[in-house]
Amino acid sequence: MRRYYRGGVAIVIGAMVMANAAWACSRYLWNDNEQGIYVARTMDWPESTDPVITVFPRGMERNGGMLGAEVVVEENAATWTSKYASMVTTVYGIGAADGFNEKGLAFHMLYLTATDFGPRDPGKPGMQAGLWGQYVIDNAATVEEALDILEDVQIVMAEARGSKATVHLAIEDATGDSAIIEYIDGESMIHHGREFRIMTNDPPYDQQLALLEELDFSNPSSDTPLPGNVKPTDRFQRIAYYSSMLPEPQNEREAVASALAIARNVSVPFGAPYKGFGIYNTEYRTVMNLSALRYYFELTTSPNVIWADLSELDLDEGSPVQVLDPNNIELSGDVSSDFTVAERSPY
């Protein structure tokens, strides 16, 4: 069973009660400026996820039941051939946490303590959670299409390096449409609408929206109370506050600068975890320009921002998978020509 929530509060926020989240990613969609559709996210993790920016051509054959060499879905695993080319950041080489396709449909997976995909139903094609986002951008061009195709598969819990994929999914497209998808007690909860622009971690999104009605950031001032801690609810409030103050950008450079500023404001400084906090440092930040199919990437331990244009790479079926290791301090600026052929496909 799936529950859909359409409409709702976009950027008003109040005091919240939350569970202690271990990973503190954040996502902000900027879909009401005149330059384009931009989305920023932070990736927070207790260790390096070995991120590799990877370009997949059209026509990739996938087996959703595999986690690297491990079989996660033994019966009726989902299989598909990708309709669209994509650019993603892989995690441990067995899945992706962030990416977009050639149609401008993007996804971001963030941690959510309450995630429960429910018992396995072998009557439905099963897919390990690490490929949830990849499945979406392989097969859909819009948020509406993505929600439709997700009806056909079941997400199955996966585990890598001792951490379960207790995640929720944000998707958005080049029109500015947005959806946030969570599984609570085995039931899918879908918040669909371009007003759902902010996402952090706990509590579940319906609880966040129910509690986001006490402080109105539509008329922010220097006297507006604003929390400064690293927990998800505090980061949610800061995104709401600062995003309501963003000036209209005059060009892409200004738009990316604003989106990155939001992501940096809610980042956890390098060197965490802090004793007793259960919060881990920000490993990297990304910004996508879904109107121009451009991907910006900032590794926390690198002084440089890099970017690549998906449209400048070979995306035809039969073309090789291409990769770029962002952990190269010499990389800077446009790196579209620096991709190399992958020795093997990550998944």
| CATH number assigned to the domain comprising residue 197 | 3.60.60.10
The 3-class SS string of the chain reads: CEEEEECCCCCEECCCCCCCCCCCCEEEEECCCCCCCEEEEEEECCCCCCCEEEEECCCCEEECCEECCEECCCCCECEEECCCCEEEEEECCCEEEEEEECCCCEEEEEECCCECCCCCCCCCCEEEHHHHHHHHHHHCCCHHHHHHHHHHCEEECCEECCEECCEEEEEECCCCCEEEEEEECCEEEEEECCCCCEECCCCCHHHHHHCCCCEECCCCCCCCCCCCCCCHHHHHHHHHHHHCCCCCCCCHHHHHHHHHHHHHHCCCCECEECCCCCCECEEEEEEEECCCCEEEEEECCCCCEEEEEHHHCCCCCCCCCEEECCCCCCCCEECHHHCEECCCCCC
Domain annotation covers residue 90: yes
Query: Residues 288, 67, 110, 183: is their CA dihedral positive or negative?
Result: positive
- Compute the distance between CA of residue 132 and CA of residue 112 in angstroms, rounded to an integer: 15
Q: Does the model's pTM come out above 0.75?
A: yes
Q: Is residue 50 part of a domain?
A: yes
Per the structure, how many domains does the chain have? 1
Residue 346 lies in a domain: no
pLDDT score, position 3: 62
Q: Are the CB atoms for 339 and 330 separated by under 8 Å?
A: no
Q: Has residue 292 been placed in a domain?
A: yes
The verdict on residue 179 lying in a domain is yes
Inside any domain, residue 347:
no
Task: Classify residue 206: in a domain, yes or no.
Answer: yes
Domain span at residue 82 reads 2-341
Q: Which residue has the tokens 């963030």?
A: 110
Decide if 136 is inside a domain.
Answer: yes
The pLDDT, as a whole number, for residue 4 is 62
Per-residue pLDDT of the chain (347 residues; tens, 9 = 90+): 456 655 443 333 333 333 344 457 999 999 999 999 999 999 998 889 999 999 999 999 999 999 988 999 999 999 999 999 999 999 999 899 999 999 999 999 999 999 999 999 999 999 999 999 999 999 999 999 999 999 999 999 998 888 889 999 999 999 999 999 999 999 999 999 999 999 999 889 988 777 666 666 777 788 888 888 888 888 998 999 999 999 999 999 999 999 999 999 999 988 877 777 777 899 999 999 999 999 999 999 999 999 999 999 999 999 999 999 999 999 999 999 999 999 999 99
